Amino acid sequence: MRWSHYYLYTTREVPADAEVPSHRLMLRAGLIRKTAAGIYTYTPFGWRSLAKLKAIVRREIDRAGGLEMSMPMVQPAELWKKSGRWQRYGKELARLEDRHGREFCLGPTHEEVITTMVGRDLSSFRQLPINLYQIQTKFRDEIRPRFGLMRGREFLMKDAYSFHTTAECLDTTYQAMAAAYRKIFEACHLDYTMVEADTGAIGGSDSHEFMVLAQTGESEVVHNATDGYAANVEKAEIGALRAPAQEEAVDRREVATPGASTVKEVAELLGVDVLKVVKTLLYQTDQGVVAVVMRGDREVNEVKLQNLLDAEFVAMANEAAVREATGAPVGFAGPIGLAEGVRLIADESVRPLTNFVCGANKDDAHFTGVNWGRDAEPDQWADLLLAAAGDPSPLGGGELVSSRGIEVGHIFKLGTKYSEAMGCDFHSEGGGKEPMIMGCYGLGIGRTVAAAIEQNHDEDGIIWPIPLAPFQLLLLSLNAKDEAVTAAAEALYGQFQEAGIDVLFDDRKERPGVKFKDADLIGIPIRVVVGAKSLAEGQVEMSLRRTREREMVAKEGVLARVRELLAAPA
RNA sequence: CGGGGCGUAGCUCAGCCUGGUAGAGCGCACGGUUCGGGUCCGUGAGGCCGGAGGUUCGAAUCCUCUCGCCCCGACCA
């Protein structure tokens, strides 16, 4: 491709709203343009990179037995009402009406559509298992889109759905898809990790996420290198915490704690360790108001809470609700004397505490010397602790380490949640009718490309991994008016094209400085520079974007050298 | 949805407080210059100052409403 005839416009300045490197560089390098908040246009240049990733994804999913298809982006409300998600999905589901007033939504995912289709077409165990996938534009009306393609509202995603007669069969496909994902991310040369995950709004049992490790990632993951445990922090289990020393029970006393509404303030005021202070958090849920007692220095994992309650939503109670439940302003809640009907759940971390401090459900007052059994008893004990770096791994390998990741893939065992709702049954060998057992497998296309940039860039621009680079090679001709240079560059361009190499030929009438800056910015892995001085000696300069190592190569030997570099592991 | 901020040339922004002829840099066009790391000089095109209403002799500037965008939070295959 000749740059002079191509659609590739770089910018020196950045729109001020780009905060993370991938977003900034994708705009500057002319890969994407913003059309609306969280909605982007992919330029021809950017689209090439996405196309490369799509090809890798297709290759691996096809090998894993997937069959490519395509489903509509606009879906009838009827299907979503049938699965119950029309109500449950919330405002993220973009809804619209057609001219007749019929309700539709923009598909954020496609369980309803695929399950309905498979349910109609397949009816026998003999037709199973089957694994269908598509690469398609999704729409989720995110509350706050940000970071360019990392969290857009409209985005490209590969989603696959598998249908089975048995859990074992589902597991086989699940493992095969996990293996395919590994191959995909390895083929992209990404530093990633697979972690246990919560199933969220999609539902189901087993679930794993594929995280590309990056500081700018929106998810926190914890892992332990010794025992191999790795999980999204939302899901993470924790080994036994060190138990505090047991004390002889003392009398419970109410003490004045004016203005001390945080654990830290209370601990300081009373001169005790924060570990001695418990906090009681009030949540509003569709199951009613819930009070959670948590160790003073730790956070509640709201996902664990939601799963425990089997709740549709869980949110911190507002001030009015807190007052109603505790009779006190925020900051003085405790497990003793809560309003009627408030469910009290205590985290396991506070179980071994003796003579602890908690709010007195009274303005400016706390209790000291509180003991379980004698003074209070929760309706339920549970693990609601949000894992943190330094916690013991549940597998016993020592401390958990925390890192940040970009969620690029998420696979689920759905079970029969959708097949039952949508009536997707099969006749079993025994003649009975059973719901199909399903799995689903998502992979963010744009997000993966953004993650690749997040992991591969420097201060000058993108450093594409060869498999995702829009072009493999950038041929750069310096002196446009020098006939010998032009002729040599044209000859090389012809050779590269003939050899089937993805080449971008910078034949623009620009100064060398501009071309070099652009070359660094757009990050094509291999660069070949034809300039007057070296050409006089029959040589051209070759270099790699990643290492910046330069070498002079006789112009006759360039093609062979390029082939060598492309074959080498990146 | 709560809190904060911003909408002025294609892009990045100044001007607004204290109302009086709409600006800069980059980009673009033209001429010259330069030619291995975003040359330099000159000329020029380009803006119902997001939209509506109000105050005023007069509004980019003050007031009200509205739309859009961004940041923090809650949220999230």
How far does the CA of A511 sit from the C1' of B40, in Å? Answer: 13
Residue A14: CB less than 7 A from any atom in strand B: yes
Residue A570 has pLDDT above 60, yes or no: no
How far does the CA of A151 sit from the C1' of B52, in Å? Answer: 34
Q: Quick one: DSSP state of residue A172?
A: H
Task: List chain B nucleotides near protein: any atom < 7 Å from a Cβ.
Answer: 1, 11-13, 25-27, 34-39, 68-77
Q: A202-213: per-residue pLDDT in tens?
A: 556 789 999 999
Average pLDDT over residues A146-150: 88
Residue A91: CB less than 7 A from any atom in strand B: no
Residue A157: CB less than 7 A from any atom in strand B: yes
Q: A40-92: per-residue pLDDT in tens?
A: 999 999 999 999 999 999 999 999 999 999 999 999 999 999 999 888 888 88
How far is Cα A412 from Cα A47, in angstroms, rounded to an integer? Answer: 29
Residue A537: CB less than 7 A from any atom in strand B: no
Domain A3-237+402-453 carries which CATH code?
3.30.930.10
- Residue ranges per structural domain of chain A: 3-237+402-453, 253-382, 471-567
Matching residue, tokens 């009816």:
A123
Residue A410: CB less than 7 A from any atom in strand B: yes
Fold of the domain built from segment(s) A471-567: Rossmann fold (3.40.50)
| The pLDDT of residue A363 | 87
Residue A24: CB less than 7 A from any atom in strand B: no
Of A391, A413, A397, the closest CA to residue A229 belongs to A397
Fold of the domain built from segment(s) A253-382: YbaK protein (3.90.960)
Residue A474: CB less than 7 A from any atom in strand B: no
Cα distances from A504 to residues A310, A394, A501, in angstroms, run: 55, 51, 9
How far does the CA of A514 sit from the C1' of B37, in Å? Answer: 7
Nearest nucleotide relative to A442: CA against C1': B77
How far does the CA of A12 sit from the C1' of B26, in Å? Answer: 8
How far does the CA of A7 sit from the C1' of B3, in Å? Answer: 42
Query: Residue A569 phi/psi, 5° resolution?
Result: -65, 130
| The pLDDT of residue A514 | 95
Average pLDDT over residues A137-144: 89
At A200, the pLDDT band (50, 70, 90 cuts) reads low
Of A224, A220, A219, the closest CA to residue A400 belongs to A224
Question: Between residues A19 and A449, which one has the greater pLDDT?
Answer: A449
Of A314, A400, A331, A323, the closest CA to residue A365 belongs to A331
| The pLDDT of residue A504 | 97
Residue A138: CB less than 7 A from any atom in strand B: yes
String of DSSP letters for A30-58? TSEEEEETTEEEEPHHHHHHHHHHHHHHH
Query: Residue A195 phi/psi, 5° resolution?
Result: -130, 155
Nearest nucleotide relative to A23: CA against C1': B70
A 205-264: CB within 7 Å of strand B: 218
Can you read off the two tokens belonging to residue A368?
Answer: 């000291």
How far does the CA of A65 sit from the C1' of B32, in Å? Answer: 65
Which ipTM value was assigned to this complex? 0.91
How far does the CA of A20 sit from the C1' of B29, in Å? Answer: 35
Which of A312-316, A352-356, A373-377 bottoms out in mean pLDDT, i.e. has the lowest?
A312-316
